[in-house]
Amino acid sequence: MAFFRKNKKNEAPVNVPEHIAIIMDGNGRWAKKRGLPRTAGHRAGAEAFRRIANYSRSIGLKYLTVYAFSTENWKRSEEEVSGIMKLLGRYLEEALADMEKNHVRFCFFGDLSRLSPELQTLCRDAQERSRCYDEVQVNFCLNYGGRDELVRAARTFAAQVAEGKCGPEDLTEEAFSNYLYSAGVPDPELIIRPSGEMRTSNFLLWQSAYSEYVFMDVLWPDFGPEQLDAAIEEYNRRNRRFGGT
């Protein structure tokens, strides 16, 4: 169900989608512009995430899915990857405190088994402890890859067929969705990519079949409520046909 609110100028009501996904890109360039190490960009990016998670809650968004670390991001230097992982650990601890105050439900999409045992525990804890909260649900994509997600889904289904629990004919689009990390979550109506890049970089390959994309020329650490409003306004100008007329 869509949520209606007045925009800043109190003009026409703005239709806030139920589910927005964001590729949080541009941290490195943000840091470079300032002559700072890339890790400083990731720290600023984590702050931007906190701002947007809180704002999403205030505008009545139901699901916010954020791309934080991809299956391809392991290709980066050991120094950068370990910096990001350390930051994630610290941030998740703070997010846990915030979450209990704000009733945000946390979910993780991705293969967590490659993370440190401490980080895995933190993620599991956050997911477990926030299960009952009913404000915005944040799906945090960590070691997430769209292709990896599809292969895992296919493998799980194939294993069930091999065990005789179901047959190939049982696989419908709906049934397949339930093998994904996003099982039970509606597809995002809107996917935002800041940083000026115009590609999906392996994000939500299945779920984005009919999403509206908004690419923005802002680096993620500079992204705030104003930019989210602008993306929602752009989304509202789109004519979604879903193959119809």
Quick check: 151 and 202 in contact, CB under 8 A?
no
Q: Is 10 left (phi over 0), alpha (psi -120 to 50) or beta?
A: left
Q: Which listed residue (15, 27, 54, 73) is catalytic?
A: 73
Q: Which positions from 14 through 43 interact with ligand IPE, judged by CB under 6 A?
A: 23-29
Q: Closest separation between CB of residue 226 and Mg ion, Å?
A: 22
Respond yes or no: is residue 7 known to be catalytic: no
Respond yes or no: is residue 73 known to be catalytic: yes
CA-wise closest residue to 56 among 48, 44, 45, 67: 48
Q: Which CB atom, from 23 or from 107, has the smaller least distance to ligand IPE? A: 23
Choices 48-56, 61-69, 115-123, 204-212; region in contact with ligand IPE by CB under 6 A: 61-69
State the sign of the Cα–Cα–Cα–Cα dihedral 157, 158, 162, 167.
Answer: positive
The residue from 16, 23, 24, 25 that contacts Mg ion (CB under 5 A) is 25
Q: Which CB atom, from 72 or from 128, has the smaller least distance to ligand IPE? A: 72
Kindly state whether residue 49 participates in binding ligand IPE, applying the rule CB under 6 A: no
Map tokens 């194939």 to a residue: 158
Q: Which CB atom, from 84 or from 191, has the smaller least distance to ligand IPE? A: 84
Binding mask 68-87 for ligand IPE (x = CB under 6 A): xxx-xx----------x---
Kindly state whether residue 179 participates in binding ligand IPE, applying the rule CB under 6 A: no
Phi and psi at residue 36, to the nearest 5°: -105, 160
Tell me the catalytic residues.
25, 73
**Residues making contact with ligand IPE (CB under 6 A):** 23-29, 67-70, 72-73, 84, 195, 197, 199, 201
